[in-house]
Structure 1
Amino acid sequence: MGMMTIRSIPDEVHNALRARAKRHNRSTEAEVRAILEEATRPEKRLHMGDALAALGRKVGLTNEDVALFDQARDKTPAKPMRFE
């Protein structure tokens, strides 16, 4: 897990972070982690599975189509790479 040091934080920002952390019953460090996570992982982010499901619905893909793909799929195990 990464580590970060942030220097020269204005006193009013540091005090606001401490107050916010206290309101959320966690340490200042945990509060900063929560803020960073919220900023970099918004709830409205695109989830790949949701996007693929929406695309399948948009083009009219059915469960029967998926079953046909599964039947046609080559199920032969892949041969290991050789380094000779």
Structure 2
Amino acid sequence: MAQLLVRELEDDVAAGLRTLAAANKRSAEEEHRAALRAHVRDHLTGPKKRSFTEVLAAMPYFDDDPADLFEV
């Protein structure tokens, strides 16, 4: 397997990767691998199709007030 050394990575990006790793219950190194895999595969094969459940979960919630649905 190949190894990759990334120099001069911005502090906020490194911190973000650590935050994502903790949220995904992975090591920082595994989170880096997952991010690189997803980025490269998306560009080679197109983005992963989302399930209907994922699409619904990403939709905003508008309580019961119809005024929330439209800009006034």
Q: TM-score range by the shorter chain?
A: 0.5 to 0.7
CA distance in 1, matches of 2:10, 2:39: 20
Q: What is aligned with 2:70?
A: none
* TM-score (normalised: structure 1): 0.48
List alignment gaps of at least 5 residues for structure 1. 47-84
Match of residue 39 from structure 1: 39
**Moved beyond 6 Å, runs of 4+:** none
Structure number with larger C-alpha Rg: 1
| TM-fit CA distance, 1:41 | 1.5
Q: Which residue type is aligned with residue 8 of structure 1?
A: E
Alignment of 1:1-84 (within 5 A): 1-42=1-42, 45=45
| Percent identity over paired residues | 33
- Displacement, 1:2? 0.2
Runs of 5+ unmatched residues, structure 2: 47-72
The SS at the match of 1:41 is helix
Separation in structure 1 between the aligned mates of residue 38 and residue 11 of structure 2, nearest angstrom = 23
Higher relative contact order by CA 8 Å / sep ≥ 6: 1 or 2? 2
| Partner AA of 1:30 in structure 2 | E
Match of 2:65 in 1: none
Q: TM-score, normalised by structure 2?
A: 0.56
Separation in structure 1 between the aligned mates of residue 4 and residue 13 of structure 2, nearest angstrom = 17
Count of residue pairs the alignment pairs up: 45
